Structure 1
Amino acid sequence: MKFKKLGLVMATVFAGAALVTLSGCSSSDSASKDIITMKGDTIRVSDLYKEAKQFPSQPTNTLLQNLTFDKIFTKDFGKEVTDKDVNKKVKSLKDQYGSQFASALQQQGLTEASFTPYMRTQMLEQAAIDHEIEATQYTDANLKKAWESYHPDVTAYVVSETSKDAATKALDAAKKDDAGKASFEKTNAANKVTFNSTSTTVPTEVQTAAFKLKNGEFSSVIESTSASTGATSYYIVEMVKSSEKGSDMNKYKKELKNVIKAEKEQDTTFVSGVIAKYLKKNNVTVKESAFASIFSQFTQTSSTSSSK
């Protein structure tokens, strides 16, 4: 299990030399020295050292980014992301991974104690991204674009085989007669699923073929190669309940918004632009030259996007 940074591409190189430079000051000067300033707050060397003790496996650049994001997003979204919300999310993940939870955290350089503040920062970032999507992305143009490729729920048997030959034999047997069809449906009862065009569990090629079927019809053998594993599977689809989306886009507005939201959350240019917006809003300034470029990935991406 890998805990992702909600679309943010964080720096992965330790700034160890910079810490050595900072620690060269006298102990009192070092602890009180500003590294980053912002409206109404600051991050000092002492804050960085405290964070490094809590997250010893995290790169220094990432520690400073997280400290900054936690402060600036708390100003706008601290009331939305409560301790109760964070604890509920942590408990949900802990229940989900059971006995593997501690080892999953360890792989990411985290402990159960440090995971809670880590999750809080994640949720604050997500709140900022969600707010920006709500405020700027649910336009008529974006909704119409999402509508063009959207298909509502259908129910079908979706069966995969590891070879084309096996899939062909299974399809021929199912289409032979009513008994063959009944046997196919009984054998594959667990593979009867409901999905729409936003599904991430049914391959795109399978969706495209399925949406063309009428009730009771079988597809041809559908070949699909996984982008993550490279493995090729061969699918058979029998449509149980098809659907037509009709012409009323407003009927599916909630689903279309979910399509837009999912796309924007994966759009690194958009996410970087959100981060850049809040960095600018809070007048975030890096005072220590050793860390001068830690936010450049956000500000540069934002500038490139806005110039297009």
Structure 2
Amino acid sequence: MKNKKFKLAAVALLSMITLAGCSGGKDIVTMKGGKITDSQFFDELKKSSTSSETLVNMIIQKITLDDYGNKVDQKEIDKQYASYEKQNGGKKPFEALLKQNNMTAKQFKENIKQSLAFTEMLKSHIKVTDADLKETWKTYHPQVETQIMSFDSKEDAEKALKKVNDGEDFTKVAKSDSHDTTTKEDGGKVKFDSTTTTEPAGVTVPNEVKEAAYKLENGKVSDLITVQNQQTGADVYYIVKMVKNKQKGNDYKPYEKELKEIFEQTKIADATFQQEVIGKELDKANVKIKDSQYKDILTPYLPQKETKTSESKTSDSKESKSSKTKSTDSSKKETTESTK
């Protein structure tokens, strides 16, 4: 437990050092011959290479909570907190982990709220069109029910496939032979669609396996499917039995809700889109940086506004004068020719 790192992906974006209360002259350390005040400590923190990033996160946090915090449902906060508890061994182990990282349950829930508010902010900038839904529809497949076995050894996979092809029950073979400890006890049962969502949650179904599964009729079993593990480079072998397939047909309307959710989740995960939204929200909030050290920290986020340089203005002025001169000369020429 001592060396366990505290990684919380859902709230990582807005994790921050709390600097409130560091602006005064209160002593925080005393010693023989001297002391350290909170203002001295604050000045030292400002020298840190991460201080700009921390301040940016604090600004985003304030804007996000002020404008979108009221859209967050407390039930969702509690649900996510419970999920983290479960992932980390239960209530007591998780509380011990929080304490180890100088955090209380209340503070952690506040971080979850911050993350959810940030998602709400992103959603408020998403406008889904029919064109977006049709584009998402191209790669969408409705949820199917399958049984899957996976193997690290080709030899083991071939043996299992032979058993199934010889008439042995797929469920029985999965329970005895599959290397997937998450699903084997239930006979390899997995539901999935073309997104990352699976039942049970957290099961990884490679795209190659999905594509092979979609082609199967109910009750049919695939050949051996070889997939390369992207992290290790090793081959993993899969066998799929289709329990209940569902063809999507030609009309996307019945799946409009699912398609909208997929499109929104794709946009929310897009780093470029996130930065665009942050820029718009910062611009809307009219944020002013009073400390000269940090005057440019928001520049990478703010929308770039077109400005004419003095050189450009001079050039425009010259072009305008030139145009006027040409017009006058042309007029004089026409008058002279008319007189003749």
Fold shared, TM-score > 0.5 on shorter chain: yes
1:210-234, CA deviations, whole angstroms, 9 ceiling, x for partnerless residues? Answer: 1111112211211223335555321
Pick from 191, 194, 201: which aligns with 1:194?
Answer: 191
- Extract unaligned runs of 5+ from structure 1: 29-44
Other-structure match for 1:226: 229
**C-alpha displacement of 1:282:** 0.6
Q: Does 1:130 align with 2:123?
A: yes
RMSD (Å) for aligned C-alpha atoms: 3.7
Identity of aligned residues (%): 35
Which has more helix, going by share of residues? 1
**C-alpha displacement of 1:303:** 5.1
**C-alpha displacement of 1:88:** 5.9
Q: Equivalent residue of 1:285, what SS?
A: coil
Instruction: Count the aligned residue pairs.
Output: 265
Q: Greater CA radius of gyration, 1 or 2?
A: 2
Pick from 140, 152, 155: which aligns with 2:145?
Answer: 155
Cα distance in 1 for residues equivalent to 2:235 and 2:102: 34
Residue range with higher mean Cα deviation, 245-254 or 64-73 = 64-73
Q: Equivalent residue of 1:298, what SS?
A: coil
Q: Does 1:184 align with 2:184?
A: no
Pick from 87, 94, 107: which aligns with 1:101?
Answer: 94
- Extract unaligned runs of 5+ from structure 2: 1-5, 27-37, 177-183, 198-203, 306-340
Check the 8 A contact 1:175/1:181 in 2, yes or no: no
Check the 8 A contact 1:151/1:197 in 2, yes or no: yes
Q: Does 1:239 align with 2:268?
A: no
What aligned pairs does 1:1-308 form with structure 2 within 5 A after superposition? Answer: 2-4=7-9, 8=13, 27=25, 59-81=50-72, 86=77, 89-91=80-82, 93-94=84-85, 97=88, 98=90, 99-102=92-95, 104-105=97-98, 110-133=103-126, 136=127, 138-176=128-166, 178-179=167-168, 181=170, 183-184=172-173, 187=176, 188=184, 189-200=186-197, 201-228=204-231, 230-299=233-302
CA separation of 1:296 and 1:219: change in aligned 2, threshold 3 A: farther
1:124-174, CA deviations, whole angstroms, 9 ceiling, x for partnerless residues? Answer: 2111012222xx2x1111111110011111111111001122112211221
CA separation of 1:147 and 1:116: change in aligned 2, threshold 3 A: same
Amino acid at match of 2:262: V
Check the 8 A contact 2:11/2:114 in 1, yes or no: no
Cα distance in 2 for residues equivalent to 1:248 and 1:161: 37
Name the TM-score, length of structure 2 as normaliser. 0.65
**C-alpha displacement of 1:253:** 0.9
Cα distance in 1 for residues equivalent to 2:189 and 2:258: 22
Amino acid at match of 2:250: S
Cα distance in 1 for residues equivalent to 2:258 and 2:95: 36
Name the TM-score, length of structure 1 as normaliser. 0.71
